[in-house]
Every structure is written in structure tokens, then in C-alpha cells.
Amino acid sequence: MRVISGQNKGRRLKSANIQGLRPTSDRVKEALFNMLSPFLNEEVVVADFFAGTGNVGIEFLSRGVKEVVFVEKDERCVHLIKENLKDLGLSERAKVFKTDVLRFLRSKHCPIFDIIFLDPPYKSTYAAECIEEILKNNKISQNGLIVIESNLDFNFESAKLTILRQREYGDTKITIFSFGGRQF
């Protein structure tokens, strides 16, 4: 795993052999950020939910967003995220929470985000549950984006969200939802 672009371009990230850990591949990450690049600037606040190693959130930081909030419940992954942030000098613009994503979305610590990246376990219902909780608790800004990395079977519909893009890469699907009508 490496950082693809921005201030930390080419830097390697630490990983670990943890059961269930499935870091976003460089190929998928590059395609994702090609789609998201028009929406990234120094005012954007991002959530990296089910963060794993922090691979995607770190890419957002490297590309200049204001802040990334990482949420991960596995202690070993939280340690990896903190190590990677420290090694790259990105800790000042990051917050890391060791908790369940749904619990975090219901907490007073959860801000409103401009972009929310969700990469839950592929065979779970967490993506749909998280989107419902995000909308219920108003945790996405007007014109914000919700990005889901899922298996090919994932589908979700809501009158409050518009699918901006949906692409498949092998057994991975990236879906970008807009809240409030934002367009590419």
C-alpha cells in the first residue's frame, strides 16, 4: 500500500495480517480519487468509517483536505492508523476513534461531514444501516458525498440521495451518492 498523490505521494503505509482486513487496492483507490478530485479542497471534512489501516483517509489528507475522522473498532487497526499518521506527519489534521461506526454516528463526538467514505465488511448490512443513520442524524453537509466501497451485490436507494457514479473493479463496487443535488 502506498499514497498515490499529494504531499505524501509514493510513501508506503504500514499494514498487518489481521483477519477481515481488506485494504482498498491502489487501483481502486486511484480510480476513486480520480472521481473525487473536483470536490477536494482545504475546507473539506472527511470521515473514513471502517478505516482499517487508514489507507483511504490518509490519501484524503495527502490531497489537502482540512481534516479526516477515522473510525475503527479493532484496536490493532487503530494502532496502525495512528502509526501511519505519525510517520507521514498527518496527525494534526486527523482524529481517530476506536468505536463502532453506528455508535459513533449517534454520539455527540460525530460532526457533520462533507465526504463520508464507508468500507464495511462486504457481506454485512452495515453500509445501508450507516447511510440510514447518517441521514437520520443529519451527519452529511448540504451537497455532501457518501462513498461506499462494497461487493458487487450492494444496492441502496433513498429519496434523499442521488447516485452520481457507480463503477466496478473486479469484485469491488464504488458508489458515490450526492446529498442535496451536487453534480459532477
What is the pLDDT at residue 25?
A: 83
Tens digit of pLDDT per residue, the chain (184 long)?
Answer: 889 999 999 899 888 777 666 778 888 999 999 999 999 999 999 999 999 989 999 999 999 999 999 999 999 999 999 999 999 999 999 999 999 999 999 998 899 999 999 999 877 889 999 999 999 999 999 999 999 999 899 988 888 999 999 999 998 999 999 997 666 5
| pLDDT tens digits, one per residue of 82-109 | 999 999 999 999 999 999 999 999 998 8
What is the pLDDT at residue 21?
A: 67
What's the whole-model pTM score?
Answer: 0.94
CATH of 26-179, one of 3.30.1380.20, 3.40.50.150, 3.40.50.1820, 2.30.110.10: 3.40.50.150
Q: Tell me if residue 8 falls in helix, strand or coil.
A: coil
Q: How far apart are CA 44 and CA 164, in angstroms?
A: 18
Q: Residues near 11 by Cβ (< 8 Å), separated by ≥ 6?
A: 2, 3, 87, 88
77 phi-psi bin (left φ>0, alpha ψ -120 to 50, beta other): alpha
What is the pLDDT at residue 182?
A: 65
Cα dihedral 183/51/20/79 (nearest 10): 170
| Inter-residue contact 125 to 144 (CB < 8 Å) | no
What is the pLDDT at residue 146?
A: 97
What is the pLDDT at residue 32?
A: 95
What is the pLDDT at residue 109?
A: 87
| Angle, in degrees to the nearest 10, between helices 75-88 and 55-62 | 20
Q: Residues near 19 by Cβ (< 8 Å), separated by ≥ 6?
A: none
Q: How far apart are CA 144 and CA 107, in angstroms?
A: 20
